[in-house]
Chains A and B, each alone.
Chain A
Amino acid sequence: MHLLLFNIIDQIRSLGWGGAFELLRNGIVLGSLYSLIALGYTMIYGILKLLNFAHGDVYMVGAFLGFGVLTAFGGALNPGIGLVPLIIIMFAVAMLGSGVLGVGIERFAYRPLRNAPRIAPLIAALGVSFFLENSAQLMTNGFQYNYDAFQLGGKNGNFGPLFDPVFTVAGNPVTVVQVLVVGSAVTLMAALIFLVSRTRLGKAMRATAFDQEAASMMGIDTDRVISSTFFIASVLAGAAGVMYGLYIGTTFYFMGFLAGLKAFTAAVVGGIGSIVGAMVAGVLVGLIESYAIGYVGGQWSDIVVFGILILFMIVRPTGLFGAQAIQKV
């Protein structure tokens, strides 16, 4: 333990300010992915009080849909169309496909269990997650597939523009794809906030989350609102999947599990049901993970992240932005 602490201090010293910034940058990019997934968890939990274990796997499906589009257009080496339309099509297909998948999951796995005991939908969610993961394993033969995004848009085997630096801070480049990931995440989140706070659908969602029975008495079609919530949540997860593919590159059938777990924690840390909380906490979880990898070492990072999260959940189960829950009897 003593030794470990000295190792960490040494590591901090040797990496210096430049290394600290590099970890900050990685953490923010990773965290914006977590934020997008966490938003889905927080919305679904807010409206159904259901821990949707399958949400991480929707993200995985999104990543594979993006990869499917990329392959259909000829792969990263020589896509048949330009870089910008290709990326737009990838996002569009992945987001739509994931959205439809999310609606289907809700319709066929969770809706029949609306009035079942609390444990039933949770176990159904475990089943859906397991089903999706292993189906993906079957479809992809259990292999890892790589987007090879660094070659996207490059001519004659040269590297493409995605990993060119946009600007440099303390000797560390910030690349196009990093700006793209953070930028599109912020755009999507802004759109979501607008949707929830300013539109009729958003109002209906907030009402349903507050009290489903009362909302349906006020003439809100709660089934449709819940379907829309699943659609929006899954669209965000699908977008995050493509971003992951472009930024990190490797997609495989099991990627949704850990990412989903961390994102769910982000949703809890942010205070379940709070949209701003999920965004902030997602970035926070990304930062913790990034610094744990940098300072403690890759093999300990998951233990450190989960340890911190377990402690946080025990000390403050309502999260950063959550209100104290009052149990009604």
Chain B
Amino acid sequence: MSEAPGTPGVTPPPGDPTESRIGVDSWVAQAEGRRARRRGPARLLARGWEWSPDPVKLLLFVGLASTLPFWLNEGDLFNFGLFTLLYVALALGLNVVVGFAGLLDLGYVAFFGIGAYTYALLSSSHYGIHWPAEATIPISMAVAALAGLILGSASRRLLGDYLAIVTLFFLQAFAAFTNTANPTVHGVGLTGGPNGIANLDPLTFFGYKLNSTKQQYFFLVIVVAVVAAALHFINQSRTGRAFRALREDPLAAEVMSIPVNRLKLLAFVLGAAIAGLCGTIFAASFTAVTAGSFGVPLLILLYAIIILGGLGSIAGVILGGFVINISSQFLAPQNDHPDVKRWLFYGTIVLIVALMKPWYRAVLVLAATIAFGYAVHAIVSATTVATWTTGAPVAAGSRSIRDGIQGWVVMPHATATGPHVNFNTCLYIGLVVAAVTVRSLSGWWRLAALVPTLYLTAMVWENILAQNPSVTALILFGAMLIALMTVRPQGLLGTARVEIV
């Protein structure tokens, strides 16, 4: 806590580990800096990232993002490009509330929904109103911001967890309102119930229509760049420092004459306005809104993004958005690159194992896992009926991959029902128990337990998860949140904070 509150504008440069920032104990910061010192190309990359000025980073993002439409087809651009940027923009807004101000807002998705429904009502045949985007975008943002103001002022008195629960109620009330209540206004159900509102107009700016995915994508690139830049300036400003002070210790911030209540409201309003903007773009490019789009799964996805990237870090949020959405799209059932799914999964596992030190342990574990797999497969096929090992792996592109998996992983045949349903359940629970066991062991025992666990993971993947892709992504995100919290709660690009007691 070296920074005196009376010296505005003198913030130490971010990334300099010897200087302590607000809320970062100087000793811990130095220790972290020492630990973060790497060798080889990783160090070069980290150095380059730290030393490059912020406009360069933004340009880097815009440049990379702009190349995407030239090597992706229309459908892939929609799933991988458009949705990634949409989630990035949404997560940037959530980052204001959670990352900057430290308020746990679980009703954030409702503002997204409010923006989307506002656009749907003002630019569709639902009520026959067809306003252009230059009018609907400010209105949607204003309506969402107003909702944020109301919820924020209602929650002003509430501390931490109470705030979380009230905002979650707000989300539930919103979901119930759009889905089941659907009050009749002018002879038509206002929100269209579970079917929602379809056939929305595309975004139209002064007569210019954004019809194709490419146009919408470039518009979103601009939106994300503008939002990120604006949030960066806010973060660097007096207000940004006030946010950090509020996040670290509201009481101390109040004593330092920081207007705590107004700041909380500002965070809510700012986040809600960004969510409203995203809602508009979502509704327009999806050409429909349905009540099911604005629920807890999306909320968890957004939290996964900002936590993976690092709370409060704008670059981290953008990185997290790319990682999470691209992996979730690859896992999605409609994805037409099924083999990539498999490589992504096995690649991640091998990567995690490869992080083990020293390196020969990792090699040992991987080799032992492969040998273990062949041994188990041989035993099972020798002792049981043939249906236990003749199951077909889902969407194995080439013959060699299929044969390889069939020869290594025990897969009961899909047509053989009955005991195999319980087999799957037992397998899954067995994996969870095995993972938990690995965590509670240590030393060589842990390595030994890791081998069957890894093989069990492959079995669960081939037998269960690959067959239910939509649930799989959600399960993996839940598991990732838990694992990340225990291993690295500050995320990829965040700074470690210590609770000062």
Docked-complex contact B485 and A127, CB < 8 angstroms: yes
* Contact of B493 with A by CB under 8 A: no
Quote the shortest CB–CB distance from B66 to chain A (angstroms). Answer: 33
Q: In whole angstroms, what is the CA distance A306 to B172 when docked?
A: 8
* Contact of A126 with B by CB under 8 A: yes
CB < 8 Å neighbour of A104 from B154, B300, B436: B436
- Say which one of A73-81, A107-115, A167-175, A193-201 lies at the interface with B: A107-115
- Say which one of B162-170, B230-238, B286-294, B408-416 lies at the interface with A: B162-170
Docked-complex contact A117 and B497, CB < 8 angstroms: yes
Docked-complex contact A310 and B485, CB < 8 angstroms: no
Quote the shortest CB–CB distance from B449 to chain A (angstroms). Answer: 15
Docked-complex contact A134 and B478, CB < 8 angstroms: yes
B-chain residues with CB within 8 Å of residue A133 when the two chains form the complex: 478
* Contact of A264 with B by CB under 8 A: yes
A113, A120, A329, most chain B CB atoms within 10 A: A120
Residue of A nearest to B179 (CB): A299
Decide: A134 near B164, CB < 8 A? Known: A113-B485, A120-B489, A329-B251.
no
* Contact of A317 with B by CB under 8 A: yes
Interface size class of A (residues with CB under 8 A): 35 or more
Docked-complex contact B161 and A122, CB < 8 angstroms: yes
CB < 8 Å neighbour of A130 from B300, B307, B311: B300
* Contact of A145 with B by CB under 8 A: no
Residue of A nearest to B424 (CB): A139
Q: How many A-B residue pairs have CB under 8 A?
A: 143
A-chain residues with CB within 8 Å of residue B176 when the two chains form the complex: 299-300, 302-303, 306
Docked-complex contact A139 and B162, CB < 8 angstroms: no
CB < 8 Å neighbour of A306 from B102, B161, B169: B169
B-chain residues with CB within 8 Å of residue A117 when the two chains form the complex: 489, 497, 499
Main secondary structure of the interface of A (DSSP, over half): helix
Interface string of B85-122 (1 = CB under 8 A from A): 00000000000001000101000000000000000000
Docked-complex contact A51 and B428, CB < 8 angstroms: no
- Say which one of B127-135, B207-215, B469-477 lies at the interface with A: B469-477
Docked-complex contact A128 and B482, CB < 8 angstroms: yes
CB < 8 Å neighbour of A307 from B160, B162, B173, B300: B173
* Contact of A137 with B by CB under 8 A: yes
Docked-complex contact B428 and A314, CB < 8 angstroms: no
Which residues of A approach B to under 8 Å, CB–CB? 45, 49, 51, 104, 107-109, 112-113, 115-124, 126-135, 137-139, 142, 257-258, 261, 264-265, 268, 298-300, 302-303, 306-307, 309-310, 313-314, 317, 327, 329
Which residues of B approach A to under 8 Å, CB–CB? 98, 102, 104, 154-155, 157-162, 164-166, 168-170, 172-173, 176-177, 180-182, 251, 296, 300, 303, 307, 311, 424-425, 428, 432, 436, 439-440, 464-465, 468, 471-472, 474-475, 477-482, 485-486, 489, 497, 499
